Homo-oligomer: A and B are copies of this chain.
Amino acid sequence: MSLPSAPVSSFASDNAAGVHPLVLESIVASNQGSALAYGADRYTDEAVRHFRELCARDLECLFVFGGTGGNVLALASLLETGEAVLATDTSHIHVDEAGAPERLTGTKIITVPHSDGKLTVKDIEACVADRAQMHHPRVGVVSITQVTEMGTVYDPDEVARLAEVCRRRGLRLHMDGARIANAVVALGGDESLFRELTKHVDAVTFGATKNGGMFGEAVIVFSDHGKANLGYIRKQLAQLPSKMRFVSAQFNAMLADGLWLQTAAHANTMARGLYERLTDIQSLQLSPPQANSLFPTIDHASAATLRDWSFFWDWNDALNQYRWMTSWATTPEDVDVFAKAVRSVVSSS
């Protein structure tokens, strides 16, 4: 079987895409003269202002280098000494950060089996029941991912219910929003839905790199819940960019006219398109995507053929499950090429 040329855009992950032209333009435009380091510049003032407008809520907004660092800073800001974090067994902080939260904050991550990628109110209640014991790890922060690692999306009601039990139990709620833009779009929403989605949350890691950025994420900590000295803790976690303007310039491009939602909408649409082109193939198990990822079940041989052709990650080896992901840069042509190759490989297997 001969396959066509691989698609220009990889389906491996949204971080295989480059930088969106408008974001890059903003970076280039900010490269004018001197700007004091560490955020004492006008680009950063502007980016923080954008976040204050977006959230319409008292907050601290800190830009960091990357997603793992952002999650660790958010957790560090919410944890009291000795407290553990509750998350699902598929959570990025548990599975994909090489133990960074444990090493950098000393916390323990308590996991529960995910329910379609999500954590439930019942999981929190069960974990809290264990807190009285001096010997058992003691949860202080609940962390959820939006979009989840299984491609699902918490709606505002679900988040509100989790937040309610957290508040009642003296816990704080963290949202790892590495793909929060894709979630907002998936829920059919705009900036007001973002506010709805985060209004009961104590800290959000707001993803940018996967959504058309070059590097840098934002950590938003809502007041009264985070530590007083977050800027200092960021530095201590080695997450303070010196030439900060180049991070801020990205957020300015993304947030100014809703670009962040447009790029996410495009990625979601491409995933939906790929799904629709493949849904009739009997031997391919595939649920409709909520955001920008698909989790097909394919036989090993077909998967291997396809991955050699255009790389993507396996997701659950035992279940023959893989992940395909679209991005702001994926084109309808990429989807066509990819869908055809899948069809030809899977059908012939």
Mostly, the A contact residues are loop
Given contacts A66-B65, A104-B104, A135-B96, contact A82 B214 (CB under 8 A): no
Contact of A229 among B16, B138, B214, B227 (CB under 8 A): B138
Q: List the B side residues contacting A65 at CB < 8 Å.
A: 65-66, 69, 215, 238-239, 241
Q: List the B side residues contacting A90 at CB < 8 Å.
A: none
Number of copies of this protein chain within its complex? 4
Q: List the B side residues contacting A283 at CB < 8 Å.
A: none
Complex CA–CA separation, A213 to B66 (angstroms) = 18
Which chain A residues (216-244) contact chain B, with CB distance < 8 Å? 227-229, 231-233, 235-243
Q: Which residues of A contact B (CB under 8 A)?
A: 8-10, 12-13, 15-19, 24, 27-28, 30-38, 65-69, 72, 76-77, 79-82, 84, 95-100, 102-104, 106-109, 134-138, 209-210, 213-215, 227-229, 231-233, 235-243, 246-247, 311, 329
| Known interface pairs A69-B239, A79-B81, A82-B98; 7 further A-B residue pairs with C-beta atoms within 8 A, sorted by A's residue number | A10-B36, A81-B81, A97-B238, A99-B236, A106-B106, A134-B240, A210-B242
7 cross-chain pairs, A with B, having the tightest CB-CB distances, nearest first: A10-B34, A65-B65, A69-B238, A99-B108, A103-B106, A98-B235, A68-B238
